[in-house]
Structure 1
Amino acid sequence: MARITAGVTTSHVPAIGAALDNGKTAEPYWAPIFDGYAPSRAWMAEAAPEVVILVFNDHATSLMLDVVPTFAIGCADAYTPADEGWGPRPVPVVEGHAELSAHIAQSLILDEFDMTLINAMDVDHGLTVPLSLMFGAVDRWPVRVVPIMVNVTQFPPPSGDRCWRLGEALARAVASFPQDLRVQVWGTGGMSHQIQGPRAGLINRAFDTDFLDRMVGDPQSLRGITHLDYLREAGSEGIELITWLIMRGALGEGAVERHRFYHVPASNTAVGHLVLENV
């Protein structure tokens, strides 16, 4: 049967993608960030996942504000990099796993999660930047991807507890897929940042590092962080961290930390990253 072998959390800052695409990774501003992901890229080469369930949020690229599903799952064979205003990123088309997507969708819906099914969509930096950080510049992504979108753009987003329970349901769905597959679950977005208003540029290192600690040592406690807590402590865009709880819920309690990285700033954003492995 399919099995979840590991989980990854990472920020998905669009400027990181631009730095990669424009050959700026060795510049003094950007080098510490890309160096911080080097151990994860080495680990990933050995882990060799076949499928990544990549949890992210669309940035009004594929889904505009006239349709905002709480949870959505991509069920296509492929996903094209989106044009976010300056042309699509020069990265490979993302290959899907339509059979696994359909199985997960059915399992989640029967498990009482009302998923929106998306059969065609372009994917923005929320999905492609994490792939670039973990695999580098490649001609073809070495994994197939099942995209899961979470609404964090229009109130009300789902609670952290609901996201955790979706992760648990994902684990059940993967375990019931009959094909032998090595699957990872990634939660992407965050950490603390705010891009508008009088608090634009907010970064809360204390909140971020505590969140990273609790992801490993006390993950259940993160389920109770409220929308207001995220807004107050992590800025208006810090709510993206609920995607991390889907990953953490899918892994279970016994996951072991393999790598951790935290850096500020990256385009006025805190970058956070964890690799957790099921043992």
Structure 2
Amino acid sequence: MARITASVYTSHVPAIGVALDQGKTQEPYWQPLFAGYEYSKQWMKDNTPDVVFLVYNDHATNFSLELIPTFALGCAAEFPIADEGWGPRPLPTVQGHPELAAHIAQSVIQQDFDLTLCNAMKVDHGLTVPLSLMCDNPPMPGGAWPFKVIPFHVNVVQYPVPSGARCFALGQAIRRAVESFDQDLNVQIWGTGGMSHQLQGARAGLINKAWDNAFLDRLIADPAGLAQVPHIEYVREAGSEGIELVMWLIARGAMADVAGGPAPTLKHRFFHVPASNTAVGHLILENN
């Protein structure tokens, strides 16, 4: 059967992609951030999965305030790179896994989670920046990502947004779906977005290092308790865009210990401030 072997958590700040694409990774401002992912890139080479189930939020690329699903599953065979206003990033098209995506859709919907199924999607920085951080940018033209990707969008832009508890339970449903797939696949699940940041209003530029690191502590050791944190705490402590962190709970809910298995192994932890007025957090957890 397919199995989830690890979960990866990372911020998806758009300026990180720009720095990568413009060759700025060794500039003094950016070098400390990219140094924090050197271990991760080697870990990815040593632990390359067949498929990554990548949880992120669309940034008005496919969905606008006219139509925004709470949960949207990418079921296509490929996902083109979006033009977010300055041209598409120079990256390979993301290859999907329609068979596993269709199975996850069937299983998760039968577990009473309503999903929007997308047979055509473009992917923006919410998905491409994590890929670039973990894999480097494949050479273009002719390059390819080293695994297939199932994009999974979560609405964390327009209220009402899903609760942490709902996201955590959805992660558990996704694990059950993956484990009931009858192909032998190595699957990783990634949660992206956050950490503390606010892009507008009187608190624009807010970063809360203490709260962010406490979140990382609890995500590792007490995910079920963390899942009970209400929206208002995210907004108060981590800023209006800090609510993106509920997406990390989907990935954490899919880990084996949540279903009674052994605790995961922490392979890497990194935290850095600032990156374009945002706190960057990153974890790698391996199932045992």
**TM-score, L = length of structure 2:** 0.96
Q: Which of 266, 269, 275 matches 1:266?
A: 275
* Long gaps (5+) in structure 2: 258-262
* Long gaps (5+) in structure 1: none
- Match of residue 178 from structure 1: 182
Question: Cα RMSD (Å) of the superposition?
Answer: 0.6
Confirm or deny: 8 A CA contact 1:216 1:256 kept in the other structure: no
1:218 shift after superposition: 1.4
Matches within 5 A, 1:91-102: 91-102=91-102
What SS does the corresponding residue of 1:90 show, helix, strand or coil? coil
- Match of residue 52 from structure 1: 52
Confirm or deny: 8 A CA contact 1:263 1:272 kept in the other structure: yes
Q: Distance in 1 between matches of 2:236 and 2:137?
A: 37
Q: Distance in 1 between matches of 2:225 and 2:105?
A: 28
Q: Does 1:217 align with 2:226?
A: no
Aligned length: 279
Q: Which amino acid aligns with 1:198?
A: A
What SS does the corresponding residue of 2:227 show, helix, strand or coil? helix
- Match of residue 42 from structure 1: 42
Q: Distance in 2 between matches of 1:163 and 1:269?
A: 23
- Match of residue 155 from structure 2: 151
Deviations along 1:168-216, one digit per CA (max 9) or x if unpaired, are: 0000000000000000000000000000001000000000000011111
- Match of residue 260 from structure 2: none
1:127 shift after superposition: 0.3
Q: Distance in 2 between matches of 1:227 and 1:48?
A: 34
Q: Which amino acid aligns with 2:58?
A: D
Matches within 5 A, 1:186-265: 186-253=190-257, 254-265=263-274
Q: Distance in 2 between matches of 1:25 and 1:251?
A: 32
Q: Which amino acid aligns with 2:36?
A: G
Q: Does 1:25 align with 2:34?
A: no
- Match of residue 77 from structure 1: 77
What SS does the corresponding residue of 1:238 show, helix, strand or coil? helix
Deviations along 1:137-174, one digit per CA (max 9) or x if unpaired, are: 21210010011110001001000000000000000000
1:252 shift after superposition: 3.1
Alignment identity in percent?
Answer: 65
What SS does the corresponding residue of 2:29 show, helix, strand or coil? coil
Q: Distance in 2 between matches of 1:187 and 1:95?
A: 19
1:260 shift after superposition: 0.3
What SS does the corresponding residue of 2:240 show, helix, strand or coil? coil
Confirm or deny: 8 A CA contact 1:75 1:118 kept in the other structure: yes
**TM-score, L = length of structure 1:** 0.99
Q: Distance in 2 between matches of 1:245 and 1:13?
A: 19
- Structure 1 segments, 4+ long, off by >4 Å, are none
- Match of residue 12 from structure 1: 12
Confirm or deny: 8 A CA contact 1:81 1:89 kept in the other structure: yes
1:129 shift after superposition: 0.2
